[in-house]
Structure 1
Amino acid sequence: MIKISPAELVAEIECRFGIEADAFPSTVKSTFGQAITIHNNDAWVERITVEIVGCAPMNIAWSKPLHSNLLVEWLLRGWFIDRLQTHIDLRPLIVVQRLLAQHKFSGNDADTIGNRLSTFAVRECTRLKASSWYEELVALRVFYRWCLDEEVPGFNEHDSLELSQLTVKAHDNRHLVTMRDDDFGPFTRVQLANIEMKLANNPLITHAQRTLFLLCRDWALRPIQLALMQVTDFGIDEGGPFVKVPSVKGIRRSRLRRHPSNLVKRYIANDTAEAVELQCTLAETQCNAASKEINAICARHGISTPVLPTPLFPSAYTTENRLLRFLTNPKLTPFTLHLDNHRISYALTSLTWILQLPDPHRPIQKTEPFMRITAYRLRRTKATSMVLSGASPEEVAEALDHSNLNSIKHYFHYNLELQEFINTTHMASPEINAAVQMWCGKFMEEIPDRSALRPISGLGSCNSEEPCPYHPTVTCYACPKFRPSRHANHEGALADITKFQQMLGSNSTGAMAQQVEAAIHGAKSVIIAVKELKE
């Protein structure tokens, strides 16, 4: 394919096809305010780099022809430029260009080429639907609609309506949850306990990685949500420690990013709060060290030195070119020091081979299959635990930042019987060790200062400063603020809770039944831990 300049392409379109075409702009602005150069001195720039707040930059090869057919080349260039200015998701551009590149669309006039391009798009969408290639289908359908809006010959409302009725399914993770996939499904309690124990004392794990894991454990945050957080999002009020998390799902919310109306308060566990508080201090130190480089770059390029917010997870290294893209665009500037979602995702995934934890539910082998640790596996764990605790679909969708219920329905197929099967059949020895580790350091006798603890019916004490809204002696064993006594009659308490469960019978299948079930599990774990510690 022969390279052709922007002006030459416009002239050819007007001369050969009789279409009145506007000149291509030399610079456009993205949805986040970045000034993007399209061509210099009437030649396409080598590549376009687009910054999407919270994400890694997207690079688009731009100097070479996008298609061998001049009309299709002109359409693709126009669509690329239009979408750069109006959308965050730019993946459809690359997908459609790849789909069209292998087809020539021969013809000498716009009507013939347009008809062939339209026919190909309709036929290809049908094929993609049959093959369940939904990302490609959606991308090509978006391109068809744009061509229709631009009144390209051959594109019509009838075919557009037909394409809109091709149903698209979200990526199917159902089997990972309902069948409890060993590599990507939700973690069990034992698996989580093993990971948390190793995270606490492994010198190869950074504090940022520990904090990322704990935040994902508590609230199933996506990597992009973690990438957008700042130290000012951490706080403590009458409800306890919390973080403010940006919503990122939905066309409107995804554009808002860190707008105050887009931040949701999430209360976090005490160990998570301690980790976040220290991470805030470390982030401040790291950003102060980076300020010298920022000041030097601003001085070299005549840019006013901005006051930059401190991200919760700062980037350790950013190229000067990328720093300039942020520092020269006011909407990007507040995110200059932020780590992007890809590197956060990698920081979590790398825990898999750093910890090298064997799966306690698999038989011992010569070559151990290590437990995979990912942000999205922790999301499935959070959703599953909420379902088992009696949460409603609306509550699960809200906690996981989903805009509708369709994405979380499959979690409600994961039942308590399956969880019990896993715990009783495959966890004999690991469960004992996990139970000991779970309560290790939490027994009342091991706490140096017990002045703030309140006694609970001879079973132990509670370190909560607020009145308990639940049935005290029943729900304590499932509460992280409970500090059991090693000398209490936990067997008797377990018998009482079991009787209470039998009294409930089939009258309650909601949150109360799930809470009692969790309390029974906790009481059994305490009993096992006490016996193990005495031996």
Structure 2
Amino acid sequence: MSAQDLKLQPKSKVTVTVSSRGFEFDYLDDHWQLDRNINLDTRFLDDFDDSCVDDIRETLVYFAENNSAPHTRNISDNLKLYLKESGATTFSELGLLTFKGRLAKNREYKLSVVRGFIRQMRYLSLDSSIEDSVYEVMDKWRLSGNDKGAAVLSLDPLTGPFSDIEFEAIASQSAHKYAEGKITSLQYALILLFKATGRRPEQIATLKVKDVVFSVKYTTKKIYVIKIPRIKQRRNKFRSTFKDFGLIDDAGKVITKHIKEHIVKVEQDLGRKLTRAQKNKLPLFIDSSCLQALIDTPKGMLTKVLDTELLHMTSNNMSSMLVKAVNKLKITSERTGERIHISPYRFRYTLGTRAARAGSGTLTIATLLDHGSTQNTGIYIENVPEFALEISKIMNQSLMVYASAFAGRVVKDEDEANKGNPKATRIPCHEKDCDIGSCGTNSFCTDYAPVACYLCPKFRPWSDAPHHLVLQWLMEEREHLKETLGDMTIVAINDRAIIAVCQVIKLCKEYNENA
């Protein structure tokens, strides 16, 4: 009997299981609630062939039970992409080769996710529908990882690290607005936490009152320490591991004031006093939509509910609250001439960038940003410290120059470029061993590619090409000229191209988001 047939039967406890975060779900339902943030739509599973659909569903259940909800959602998204791009309804050699052929090099990591899923099917003995040739083909592949650090490297004025002026404006304006009573203790505490720790929204959202302590553990003098839950460790349960982070005295006092006000408000809403243990277990930032449920919770069950993640904000709501708080500061970016664009990850990028510029190594930055390894911190060390100030100077040139630097048009990929200009010439960047776009004309050209291309109205950059590698190469060349010649007139010869590449990176991101 297939999963589709079982759906017609009355629900049984046999089909109910528990996610790694303790949420029950029926794996024959169309939606699986894996944690408070993620409700997984699994209707796509029915598009797989009857010969393998049950095995694929059971393998996805394994990931839901044993891995984080975001990881399970990522697998789900890439299985959907496999169905869409390959046109296959089973895991076959032809289907995987077709899927691989339709992915640009910088998107091959998506195939890696599917490959890992198929290997797990074999490990679980759920691969009876998969031919041995599929594994033989997959084992030969060396796939590229996903590109990391494009926003950091390009110092994108909307998504990359804040400039020094922007970052300092957030610090001073938030202090002034708080002193004037124009932002609350909650809002100021939130801004200070993101600004000081650079942590992900989910980590801030899972904080509880008891995580903020006044301690002498690390110094002879008492300091404020916040115990921040770790979230990107394999098979971690909710709030199972922590990393301590020291706070300056002023920030600790603001957060402590928020805690006092927070407890008073919750007790008023509940209409009763909380025990000391219950106060400690309150979310530092509670989901107000859950307050009624908390009010309705029997007194004897209150402590048990407070142990769970049910009353904590979702990551999206946490991000929205931060954006609203900083928007109240009404800060204008000197780089765009418009209201500063806010996202939680910009604080994270800024913390890593400033640490690198101060001379910190990859291990220090990994510790500062709570990475499990140094694998993803190299972007700060290898690229940003060396070039950050230079790119800032270039990007701070006239906004008119910035706006007019790139004159071409972003296209999805080479196929789209060929529709407008059959057999369009492919534009390579030999120095970084990558292709970055197509030429929109067949006319003879003697300009120096790819530098001149970014300034040419005929250029058709591909939206999924690694343009940040071109930026890295241009900045390396600029630094070389500075060291060998010292003549800034010559050093600045490619500055407009650098500005154009930065704009292409930004436009490609917007293109892919709207696709």
For the superposition of Structure 1 and Structure 2, which TM-score range results when normalised by the shorter chain?
0.5 to 0.7
- CA distance in 2 between counterparts of 1:321 and 1:119 reads 51
Q: Which residue of structure 2 lines up, in the alignment, with residue 274 of structure 1?
A: 253
SS of residue matched to 1:411: helix
Counting only pairs closer than 5 Å after superposition, residues 202-241 of structure 1 correspond to structure 2 as 202=177, 205-236=183-214, 237=216, 238=221, 240-241=223-224
Q: Which residue of structure 2 lines up, in the alignment, with residue 84 of structure 1?
A: 64
> Would the alpha carbon gap of residues 121 and 25 (structure 1) be closer, same or farther in structure 2, given more than 3 Å must change?
farther
Residues 452-478 of structure 1, C-alpha deviations (whole Å, 9 max, x = no match): xxxxxxxxxxxxxxxxxxxxxxxxxxx
Matched, 1:118 2:96: no
- Superposed structure 1 runs of 4+ greater than 6 Å apart: 103-106, 319-325, 327-332
Q: Which residue of structure 1 lines up, in the alignment, with residue 283 of structure 2?
A: 311
Instruction: Give the TM-score of the pair, scaled to structure 1.
Output: 0.60
Is residue 148–residue 379 contact of structure 2 (8 Å, CA) maintained in 1?
no
Percent identity, aligned pairs only? 15
- CA distance in 2 between counterparts of 1:27 and 1:294 reads 37
- CA distance in 2 between counterparts of 1:184 and 1:105 reads 35
Aligned-pair CA distance for 1:214: 1.2
Aligned-pair CA distance for 1:279: 1.9
Matched, 1:182 2:157: yes
Is residue 55–residue 126 contact of structure 2 (8 Å, CA) maintained in 1?
no
SS of residue matched to 2:41: strand
Aligned-pair CA distance for 1:92: 3.8
Is residue 4–residue 46 contact of structure 2 (8 Å, CA) maintained in 1?
no
Counting only pairs closer than 5 Å after superposition, residues 378-527 of structure 1 correspond to structure 2 as 378-412=347-381, 413-415=383-385, 418-419=388-389, 422=392
Counting only pairs closer than 5 Å after superposition, residues 241-280 of structure 1 correspond to structure 2 as 241-252=224-235, 255-259=236-240, 262-280=241-259
- CA distance in 2 between counterparts of 1:69 and 1:24 reads 26
Aligned-pair CA distance for 1:320: 7.3
Counting only pairs closer than 5 Å after superposition, residues 86-235 of structure 1 correspond to structure 2 as 86-88=66-68, 89-99=71-81, 101-102=83-84, 117-127=91-101, 129-134=103-108, 136-148=110-122, 149-153=124-128, 155=130, 159-160=134-135, 162-163=137-138, 165-173=141-149, 175-202=150-177, 205-235=183-213
Residues 342-377 of structure 1, C-alpha deviations (whole Å, 9 max, x = no match): 211222233464434221245xxxxx4221122211
Q: What is the one-letter code of the residue matched to 1:5? A: D
Is residue 96–residue 143 contact of structure 1 (8 Å, CA) maintained in 2?
no
**Coordinate RMSD, CA, aligned:** 4.2
Aligned-pair CA distance for 1:322: 11
SS of residue matched to 1:235: strand
> Would the alpha carbon gap of residues 307 and 221 (structure 1) be closer, same or farther in structure 2, given more than 3 Å must change?
closer
SS of residue matched to 1:355: coil
Aligned-pair CA distance for 1:81: 2.8
Q: Which residue of structure 1 lines up, in the alignment, with residue 511 of structure 2?
A: none
Is residue 32–residue 42 contact of structure 2 (8 Å, CA) maintained in 1?
yes
Deviates more, 1:281-290 or 1:179-188: 281-290
Counting only pairs closer than 5 Å after superposition, residues 334-345 of structure 1 correspond to structure 2 as 334-345=308-319
Is residue 212–residue 226 contact of structure 2 (8 Å, CA) maintained in 1?
yes
Aligned-pair CA distance for 1:382: 0.8
- CA distance in 2 between counterparts of 1:124 and 1:98 reads 14
Is residue 239–residue 267 contact of structure 1 (8 Å, CA) maintained in 2?
no
Aligned-pair CA distance for 1:379: 0.9
- CA distance in 1 between counterparts of 2:257 and 2:8 reads 58
- In structure 1, stretches of 5+ residues that fail to align are 10-22, 39-43, 107-112, 296-305, 363-367, 428-535
Matched, 1:370 2:333: no
Q: What is the one-letter code of the residue matched to 1:167? A: L
- CA distance in 2 between counterparts of 1:310 and 1:291 reads 13
- In structure 2, stretches of 5+ residues that fail to align are 398-515
Is residue 121–residue 140 contact of structure 1 (8 Å, CA) maintained in 2?
no
> Would the alpha carbon gap of residues 47 and 384 (structure 1) be closer, same or farther in structure 2, given more than 3 Å must change?
closer
Is residue 207–residue 275 contact of structure 1 (8 Å, CA) maintained in 2?
yes
Residues 34-74 of structure 1, C-alpha deviations (whole Å, 9 max, x = no match): 33234xxxxx546332225xxx1324355x97226322433
Is residue 228–residue 242 contact of structure 2 (8 Å, CA) maintained in 1?
yes
Residues 291-338 of structure 1, C-alpha deviations (whole Å, 9 max, x = no match): 46999xxxxxxxxxx99811111111138789999x799698432321
- CA distance in 1 between counterparts of 2:363 and 2:112 reads 27
Residues 229-268 of structure 1, C-alpha deviations (whole Å, 9 max, x = no match): 111111223252221112222314xx14423xx2222111
Is residue 23–residue 35 contact of structure 2 (8 Å, CA) maintained in 1?
yes
Q: Which residue of structure 2 lines up, in the alignment, with residue 350 of structure 1?
A: 324
Aligned-pair CA distance for 1:104: 10
SS of residue matched to 2:228: strand
Is residue 76–residue 97 contact of structure 1 (8 Å, CA) maintained in 2?
no
> Would the alpha carbon gap of residues 29 and 151 (structure 1) be closer, same or farther in structure 2, given more than 3 Å must change?
closer
- CA distance in 2 between counterparts of 1:59 and 1:421 reads 41
Instruction: Give the TM-score of the pair, scaled to structure 2.
Output: 0.62
Count of residues paired in the alignment: 379
SS of residue matched to 1:33: coil
Identify which of 25, 34, 38 aligns with 1:50.
34
SS of residue matched to 2:14: coil
- CA distance in 2 between counterparts of 1:27 and 1:324 reads 26
Return the index of the structure with the highest Cα Rg: 1
SS of residue matched to 1:339: coil
> Would the alpha carbon gap of residues 425 and 286 (structure 1) be closer, same or farther in structure 2, given more than 3 Å must change?
same
Aligned-pair CA distance for 1:182: 1.6
- CA distance in 2 between counterparts of 1:356 and 1:170 reads 35
Residues 426-457 of structure 1, C-alpha deviations (whole Å, 9 max, x = no match): 59xxxxxxxxxxxxxxxxxxxxxxxxxxxxxx
SS of residue matched to 1:32: coil
- CA distance in 2 between counterparts of 1:197 and 1:8 reads 61
Q: What is the one-letter code of the residue matched to 1:180? A: L
> Would the alpha carbon gap of residues 352 and 216 (structure 1) be closer, same or farther in structure 2, given more than 3 Å must change?
closer
